[in-house]
């Protein structure tokens, strides 16, 4: 059966560990500097072994302070087991998101190989595709079967974005903005990770991600942005920025999953205790700085006029 997959490849299955292709993949990753550890049987999604840092029996890779949960009353009043379960859900959410981002990165870089306009550009994207494959392989070692993409608004947004045929949109949104944002995100994850091996792994991604971002900026410098591309970028970024404006929704969802249904009043209180306006405001400020580009003045102006860089107050996050 010939099945068409989207460029992001979120629905691409994993082969069983005993498949002959795995030996070829392992030797190729080893040559590239990845695949240094023994991995367990990998079925339809990630490492199944109990030594995974996302295993329910191991400590969560990020503690309460990373998510600002130490200021949330319903969390601090919870039992030790409930706290551990909430932190595990939050941490697994971060790992799953990274798994899918790197998986999408392979598809995106492969697409940009075909869209390249010079030999050097094609070479760069071919090399970047290898970076993403190496990152993906390393993340798989720390992750059990990921949740479906349908449960994550950002990943659905990313999946649709990568299908765009407009190179200008892809360069600015994905490489200038999202890769730049991802660089800061991985740096924060690496710094705050209590799992030493995972922290070192995340830190090792930074140099690669920096090159990906710098290439996007360099190529976007050379583009004449059409009004059509400009309008698409504005609408796309407005949708993305709204996901940031509404605060740490996944953290509140993790609390609700463990503690049971929460009232609107309880959720507003949690968002206030999470200091959602500061949390989102710092991210929106970073994103605005990433968009401050001579070719994007009108884009920035339009988003400013829409109030896209203003974080929502707690009551508007619910």
Domains and CATH numbers, the chain: 66-317 (1.20.1260)
Nearest alpha-carbon partner for 294 in 118, 185, 179, 176: 176
Specify the residue for token string 């009004």: 227
Average pLDDT, the chain: 90
Question: Is the pLDDT at 1 greater than 70, yes or no?
Answer: no
pLDDT at residue 57, rounded to an integer: 62
CA torsion sign, 196 to 202 to 208 to 209? negative
Rounded to an integer, what distance in angstroms lies between the CA atom of residue 312 and that of residue 53? 33
pLDDT at residue 49, rounded to an integer: 38
Nearest alpha-carbon partner for 64 in 52, 50, 74: 74
pLDDT at residue 34, rounded to an integer: 54
Q: Which of 56-60, 120-124, 287-291 has the lowest mean pLDDT?
A: 56-60
In whole angstroms, how far apart are CA 314 and each of 10, 73, 200, 251? Answer: 32, 15, 35, 14
3-state secondary structure of 25: helix
pLDDT at residue 21, rounded to an integer: 93
- For residue 47, list its beta bridge partners: 42
pLDDT at residue 143, rounded to an integer: 87
- The DSSP secondary-structure symbol of 175 reads I
Percent of the chain with pLDDT over 90: 79
Residue 3 backbone dihedrals phi, psi, to 5 degrees: -100, 130
pLDDT at residue 253, rounded to an integer: 97
CB burial readout 164-179, b (16+ within 10 A) else e: beebbbbbbbbbbbbb
Q: What is the pLDDT of residues 166-224, one digit of tens each?
A: 999 999 999 999 999 999 999 999 999 999 999 999 999 999 999 999 999 999 999 99
Nearest alpha-carbon partner for 68 in 237, 216, 254, 265: 254
List own/partner pairs for 202-210 with CB under 8 A and 24 or more apart.
Answer: 204/138, 205/135, 208/128, 208/131, 208/135, 209/179, 209/182, 209/183, 210/183
3-state secondary structure of 47: strand
Q: What is the pLDDT of residues 11-20, one digit of tens each?
A: 898 888 889 9
Specify the residue for token string 């001579």: 294
Mean pLDDT of 246-259: 97
Q: What is the pLDDT of residues 24-59, one digit of tens each?
A: 998 898 877 655 444 434 434 444 333 444 444 678
pLDDT at residue 5, rounded to an integer: 73
pLDDT at residue 45, rounded to an integer: 42
Instruction: Indicate the pLDDT class of residue 107, thresholds 50, 70 and 90.
Output: very high
């Amino acid at each position: 059966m010939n099945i068409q997959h989207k460029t992001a490849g979120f629905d691409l299955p994993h082969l069983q560990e005993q498949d002959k292709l795995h030996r070829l993949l392992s030797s190729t990753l080893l040559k590239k500097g990845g695949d240094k550890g023994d991995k367990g049987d990998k079925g339809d999604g990630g490492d199944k072994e109990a030594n995974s840092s996302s295993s329910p029996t191991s400590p969560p890779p990020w503690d309460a302070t990373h998510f600002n949960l130490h200021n949330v009353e319903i969390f601090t009043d919870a039992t030790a087991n409930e706290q551990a379960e909430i932190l595990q859900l939050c941490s697994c959410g971060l790992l799953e998101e990274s798994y899918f981002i790197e998986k999408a990165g392979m598809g995106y870089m492969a697409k940009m190989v075909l869209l390249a306009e010079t030999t050097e550009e094609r070479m760069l994207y071919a090399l970047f595709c290898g970076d993403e494959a190496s990152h993906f392989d390393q993340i798989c070692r720390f992750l059990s079967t990921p949740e479906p993409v349908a449960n994550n608004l950002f990943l659905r947004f990313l999946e649709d974005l990568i299908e765009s045929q407009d190179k200008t949109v892809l360069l600015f949104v994905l490489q200038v903005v999202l890769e730049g944002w991802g660089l800061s995100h991985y740096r924060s994850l690496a710094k705050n990770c209590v799992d030493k091996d995972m922290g070192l792994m995340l830190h090792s991604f930074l140099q690669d991600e920096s090159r990906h971002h710098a290439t996007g900026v360099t190529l976007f410098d050379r583009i004449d942005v059409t009004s059509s591309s400009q309008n698409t970028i504005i609408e796309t970024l407005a949708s993305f920025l709204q996901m940031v404006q509404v605060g740490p929704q996944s953290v509140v969802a993790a609390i609700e999953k463990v503690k049971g249904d929460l009232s609107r009043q309880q959720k507003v209180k949690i968002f206030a205790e999470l200091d959602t306006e500061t949390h989102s405001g710092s991210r929106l400020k970073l994103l605005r700085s990433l968009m401050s580009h001579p070719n994007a003045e009108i884009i920035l102006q339009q988003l400013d006029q829409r109030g896209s860089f203003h974080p929502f107050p707690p009551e508007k996050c619910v």
